[in-house]
Amino acid sequence: MDWGMKNRLSRIIKPKDGRTVMLAVDHGYFMGPTSGLEHLDGMVNPLLPYTDTLMLTRGALRNYISPTVDVPIVLRVSGGTSIIGPKLLHEGTVVSIEDAIRLNASGVAYSILVGAEFERDTILGMTQYIDEAERYGIPVLAVTAVGKEMKRDARYMSLASRIAAELGAHIVKTYYIPGFEKVIESCPVPVVIAGGKKQPEDEALQMAYDAIHAGAIGVDMGRNIFQSSNPVNMIKAVNAIVHKNATPKEAFEVFKGTKK
């Protein structure tokens, strides 16, 4: 692994503890104006001081985020479907590696949909992108999307995560499920969890805690932060769990503002 790749990875995964709090706001690429992100800049800017890495689309980056930010970017580079289309998540490449480099991305994110009838397209799309990214030392975060018809269990997440890692992804983003340890022990690259649909803050914090203690290196969380009743306190609480080894109870106190 060359110096550049290692340096970019160290921007995404913090060397001090090998962990990361990634703020995911890329939802617009298939969901449009997601609740909470209608004014993406207004939502994101107050969260940046507590964000290790920002995951978003090139359009969001260009139109909502100041080029003066010093938060590393993981750029969403797969897409091509929408929530109202016939084949949600049948994705392909939507950003060239050259444009990702031009936008100074520290990493790129590409979704695969293992188990779908079109799984091959998404998996080949990711691996072709990995080949291009490797040429420039850009790490690839594989997103193991989960279709509605798929069973979100440890067997499925282990399968999808391992496939992504075997094909060359440098980091895997998947979903926390009971038996998550199985996913971690069978995946040879770092794993972060997506937050998934909005849930009560204490439950989301418990999930983050459980994922970290099962071996995840962090979170790539979106809706559970930006749709929270207090997004700033929520990302602070997530930080407490990821970087300060807070308990879910302590983190919930941070969310409520009753604990520094």
Which residues are marked as active site?
A: 173
Closer Cβ to ligand 5RP, 6 or 152, answer by number = 152
Closer Cβ to ligand 5RP, 214 or 235, answer by number = 235
Q: How far is the CB of 186 from ligand 5RP (least distance, A)?
A: 21
Q: How far is the CB of 260 from ligand 5RP (least distance, A)?
A: 25
Binding positions for ligand 5RP, rule: CB under 6 A: 24, 26-27, 55, 143, 145, 194-196, 220-224
Q: How far is the CB of 26 from ligand 5RP (least distance, A)?
A: 5
Closer Cβ to ligand 5RP, 146 or 187, answer by number = 146
Distances (CA, A) of 193 to 118, 175, 212, 224, 258: 24, 5, 9, 12, 27
- Buried-state track 198-217, b at ≥16 Cβ within 10 A, e below 16: beebeebbbbbbbbbebebb
Closer Cβ to ligand 5RP, 54 or 135, answer by number = 54
Q: How far is the CB of 221 from ligand 5RP (least distance, A)?
A: 4
Tokens at residue 160, please? 């999808």
Helix (H) or strand (E) holding 24: strand 20-24
Tokens at residue 135, please? 């040429």
Q: How far is the CB of 143 from ligand 5RP (least distance, A)?
A: 5
Q: How far is the CB of 76 from ligand 5RP (least distance, A)?
A: 7
Helix (H) or strand (E) holding 97: helix 97-102
Q: Report the C-alpha gap between 243 and 118 in whole angstroms.
A: 38
Q: Report the C-alpha gap between 86 and 103 in whole angstroms.
A: 31
Phi, psi of 213 (to 5 degrees): -75, -10
Closer Cβ to ligand 5RP, 9 or 225, answer by number = 225
Closer Cβ to ligand 5RP, 55 or 259, answer by number = 55
Q: Within 13 Å of residue 41, how many CA atoms lie on the same side as its CB?
A: 9
Q: Which residues contact 153 (CB under 8 A, 6 or more apart)?
A: 177, 178, 179
For residue 192, what are the β-bridge partners?
173, 218
